[in-house]
Structure formats: structure tokens, C-alpha cells
Amino acid sequence: MSNSKPSFKKKKSEPQQYWSGLPKDILRLILEKLPWSERLRLSLVRKTWKECFHEIKNAQEFLPWLMFYNWDKCRGCRDENHGNSICKLADPFVQKRFTVEEATKGTERDFFFYAEPCASSHGWVLFSRVICEMKHLFLYSPFTNEVIRFPGLEIGFSDMASFYLNPASSDFTVIAFSILVAGKLEIGTCHPGDESWKKFEFCGDYDFICDVGYADESFYCSLSNGKLGAFNIKQQEWKLLWNLQSELSPLVYLYAFNGDLIMGLGDCNPRSLPCALWRFDLLERKWVVVENEIIEKMVIFRDRTSSLSFSVPAEGNARESAGKIHYLFCKRGTPWSRSFNCVGSSWIESPNYEWMEADSLTRIWIQPPLQRIFRASDLLQSGSGKIR
């Protein structure tokens, strides 16, 4: 685990000298009017401001941010003052980009080389990297500039990892699904600080893993032969829920919305996306078409990697995108959007993100920690339920 400076630099600005003596209730009213990113920056200045920051409930900002990075900058450098990686964050609400100071500085940055993002939630991104024929997963937060590593895993011919973090409790789990040999599914769970993975093996007609999604206390895994299974993290049980008995597109996208599991299909050309979503009915154990009235209450953000895709409610600053899907066509592209309920609708540049200038940095969607900032120390305590 790394210990570095926070991402948002403290500034000796005018609020510090004019607001320092304000009563807490008045200060809270002022901070409520500011964008979340500005409140976060000010919370780093004084303890009272930090307390107000945590007391304010987010009701306006739901759009995801974009994370830009290049871990390979000056890879050959070993001088402590050179060769730092680049990491930036883009806030669509204020249309600004922020630079993460000293991102993955020094020798630790070697661990980031060739790492691929797996999932994002509450300000943390799960990365995966193969080292010496072992898969190594680690969490990185650009908001706190901290890293948490996990033990290595055996590499399967098809595997996918994700994680779950509940901002209202101590629940935190990293999960890895893997097909080690034909027909055998291995599920591994791990918590920050664990020295090994807890593994479960299930035999059956398991094939290529399409996507993994979390909804209502379970991780769902879809496979290319039409199977859908759920692993309940509390009961530690795996159940096969659906067998379509036909091959699915390898680009299956699973989303969670209001506790429901939503599925969308894709292909190699995102511009030909079908204008339909399916919801899995747990009682009937079948997929049903999602009604337009539900689609209009959500916004979907799709990445080139299915596990980096998610949905948000069409509220606050996401209300204008109701019933739309935003997509990152390539690693260095600008997000585009289209409407789900309009057959044949064309893709247009996403209005919330069109202000971003082009560069050579890789970019992914990231869910900012709008409800609570989790530091590495919080997650390390989560295994024993000690989050305060």
C-alpha cells in the first residue's frame, strides 16, 4: 500500500481567510452551493470544513468522471525526480481537469506497467497485471493516490474480476471469476489485508466469461454459452439461474439499476447497438424486456471493456441524459452518446464531455466517491467491520 499526497492540492485561497471564523451551520450552507470537486478541495484545508464536507448529502452530481493516465512515461528513468506517471481526472459538472500529484511515484510505479483496468466504484479502480505467469490485482484511488495490492492468482483461459464497496457499511469484497480448465469455474474472493484468496470450484458446462456485475448482494456472471449464475457473497453460494442453451455475443454488458440486473448486448461496432435492454426477473428466472419508462430513469455509460460499464440514475446533472447511453469508442477518444428508445438514432458527441481536449492519455469512466471518501486505511479495516 502506498502513502502519497492527496490528489487535490491545498491552495492558499481567499476562502481560507474569509471563512475561517464562520459558524459551522453557515459554512455548511455555503459549501452546499459549491460543486463536489470544489468542496473536496476545501475539505483538505481545515478540520471543520472536512466535517461539513462529510455531512453534506450529494443530490446534484451523478455523472461519472473520466480518469486519464499513462503509467509508462519515461519508463527507463530511475531518478526519484523523474519518470513519474501521468494521471488526471475530469469533472463534467465544472468542466475542469485535475492533475493527480506524484501519481504512482518512484519504484512502485513499475507495478502499474501494462496493468489493465477491471472495474470502478466509489473512487477506486481495480487493475490487473500478469507477472511471472500469475495474475495480480490491485486497487488504485486517484482521489487519495493510494494503492492496495492483493495476492496473486493462477491465470485461466478466461477470467474477469470486479469488486463491491458499500459506502453505508463495512461491506467490501474483491471477486475473481476464472475458467481454469474446460468446464470448471473457479471463484475467488479477497479482502484488503488478506494474505490469500478464498476459492470455490464448480464443475459444469462453463465456457468463456462475458461479463460480471453486482446487484442485491450477489455477483452475477454471464457466459458465452448462454448461462447466467449468481454468487451470493454473504452465503458464499453459487446458483445457476438461467440457461439460454444458445451462444451469446461475447460483448454482454451487465448493469445494476435499483437493485435489478440489466443486460445489454453489443458487437464489434458500437454504432449498431440494439435499442433494447433486458431485466432478469428473479422470481420467474427469465429475461424480460426493460420498459421505456424504466429506461428513461437511467443513464448508461459503456466502456470498451464491459466490466468498466455501469448505470446512474437520471437525476441532478444526469437528468438531461435520461434514456441515453454514453460510450467510449476507444482508449483515447471522446465520449459519444445516443438515445436508447429512438431506433436508428445517430451518435453525437456527449455534451457533458465535449469540452475535453484531445491527448495521448488512456481514459476510462470512473465513479467518483460522491457519498464518502474511502482511504486505504478504511478498506483495510473493512474485513473486520471496523469502518467508522
**247 part of a folded domain:** yes
What is the average pLDDT value for the chain, to the nearest integer?
81
Give the Cα separation of 279 and 339 in Å (integer). Answer: 18
Closest CA to 308 of 327, 285, 280: 327
Where residue 80 falls among pLDDT bands split at 50, 70, 90? very low
- Mean pLDDT to the nearest integer, 87-91: 92
Give the Cα separation of 276 and 235 in Å (integer). Answer: 33
Amino acid at 120: S
19: domain range?
A: 1-56
Instruction: Name the most confidently modeled range: 187-201, 256-270, 364-378.
Output: 187-201
Where residue 198 falls among pLDDT bands split at 50, 70, 90? very high
Same domain as 126, residue 44: no
Give the Cα separation of 108 and 120 in Å (integer). Answer: 21
Give the Cα separation of 122 and 144 in Å (integer). Answer: 12
**38 part of a folded domain:** yes
Per residue in 320-338, pLDDT tens?
Answer: 999 998 988 777 778 888 8
- Mean pLDDT to the nearest integer, 250-277: 71
- Say what the pLDDT of residue 237 is: 93
Q: Average the pLDDT over each of 15-24, 173-182, 266-275, 306-315 and give the range with the smallest value.
A: 266-275
Model confidence at 52: pLDDT above 60? yes
Give the Cα separation of 355 and 177 in Å (integer). Answer: 38
- Say what the pLDDT of residue 182 is: 76
- Say what the pLDDT of residue 266 is: 62
56, 80, 103: which is the final residue of a domain?
Answer: 56
Model confidence at 163: pLDDT above 90? yes
Where residue 4 falls among pLDDT bands split at 50, 70, 90? very low
**388 part of a folded domain:** no
Largest Cα span, the chain: 68
56, 73, 94: which is the final residue of a domain?
Answer: 56
Model confidence at 20: pLDDT above 70? no
Give the Cα separation of 361 and 343 in Å (integer). Answer: 33
Q: In terms of pLDDT, which residue wins out, 135 or 102?
A: 135
Same domain as 307, residue 280: yes
**153 part of a folded domain:** yes
Per residue in 273-297, pLDDT tens?
Answer: 555 788 888 888 888 888 889 999 9
Model confidence at 86: pLDDT above 70? yes
Same domain as 307, residue 214: yes
Same domain as 185, residue 43: no
**387 part of a folded domain:** no
- Say what the pLDDT of residue 244 is: 66
- Say what the pLDDT of residue 48 is: 75
Decide: 301 and 257 in contact? Cβ < 8 Å: no
The alpha carbon of residue 188 and the mean position of all alpha carbons in its chain are separated, in whole angstroms, by 19
- Say what the pLDDT of residue 341 is: 64
Q: What is the CATH number of the domain that holds 247?
A: 2.120.10
Same domain as 95, residue 49: no
The two beta strands, 278-281 and 260-265, are: antiparallel
Model confidence at 83: pLDDT above 80? no
Model confidence at 27: pLDDT above 80? no
Number of other CB atoms surrounding residue 268 within 10 Å? 8
Same domain as 65, residue 37: no
Model confidence at 205: pLDDT above 90? no
Q: In terms of pLDDT, which residue wins out, 30 or 228?
A: 228
Percent of the chain, pLDDT > 70? 81
Eight-state DSSP code of residue 7 = S
Same domain as 211, residue 253: yes
Same domain as 13, residue 98: no
Q: In terms of pLDDT, which residue wins out, 154 or 77?
A: 154
- Residue carrying the nine cell digits 477470467: 159
What's the number of domains the chain is made of? 2
- Say what the pLDDT of residue 19 is: 64
CA angle 147, 334, 211 (to 5 degrees): 55
- Say what the pLDDT of residue 8 is: 52
- Residue carrying the nine cell digits 438461467: 242
Amino acid at 348: I
**318 part of a folded domain:** yes
Same domain as 64, residue 52: no
Q: In terms of pLDDT, which residue wins out, 113 or 219?
A: 219
- Say what the pLDDT of residue 314 is: 95
Give the Cα separation of 224 and 207 in Å (integer). Answer: 6
Same domain as 235, residue 362: yes
Closest CA to 98 of 89, 107, 85, 110: 89
Closest CA to 287 of 261, 307, 265: 261
Same domain as 67, residue 28: no
- Say what the pLDDT of residue 387 is: 39
Same domain as 61, residue 5: no
Give the Cα separation of 52 and 130 in Å (integer). Answer: 42
Decide: 304 and 328 in contact? Cβ < 8 Å: yes
Q: Average the pLDDT over each of 41-45, 117-121, 208-212 and give the range with the smallest value.
A: 41-45
Decide: 190 and 174 in contact? Cβ < 8 Å: yes
